[in-house]
Structure 1
Amino acid sequence: RLGVPVVPAYASAAAPTVTEAVRALAARGRTRVAVASCFTAPGRFAAECADAAPGTVSDPLGTHPAMARLLLHRYDQALRTPIPVAGPAAPVAEPAALATA
């Protein structure tokens, strides 16, 4: 459905918190709110966000088998990627030279 608002919210020191975002949506007349968790594992923040949600809440990403497959895929990629050999450091431009471009 088009026109459904999405409000980012945060579980730490950034604003808005999940509770604030839910209140803001309720003030706009939204009665059905779903919280999509981007946590990688269950824990304090995931639990607090789930408690603040009035309805549907997704599980942390780490509980989904696709997350394990992604992590293993990235690990395999890292094993196949050659480690670059450190060479001489590239010269660093002077700040004044960057400002005159």
Structure 2
Amino acid sequence: MLINMLDSLKNYENLNIGLRVYGNRSSFPPQDCNDSHLEVEFLPTKKAIKKIKHKLNYIQAKGSSPIAYSLEKGANDFINSKSRNIVILITDGKERMSNGSLCCF
């Protein structure tokens, strides 16, 4: 699904795309509510798509789902806060830790 979305954007000029991933570095335990990283910096469309597709081959879910933290950090990833910026969140479920509790806020 993500690959199809990326491919649908490849002919758009004046578009920058980046990739932030969460829950892919720290396993449980411990529970890491800060496991969120900009894996591919914002780049022009074609260059970004190539890097994102490559990175997706190596990303595996390992830990918690710090959705709120990731969205907060993601807002700071944008190159220009005055531009029209969009976040697309792909998740496997709710913001939860391995013990079922909500992630840290």
The TM-score range, normalised by the shorter chain, is: under 0.3
- Give TM-score, length-normalised by structure 2: 0.25
Larger radius of gyration: 1
* Bigger RCO (CA 8 Å, 6+ sep): 2
- Structure showing the higher helix proportion among its residues: 1
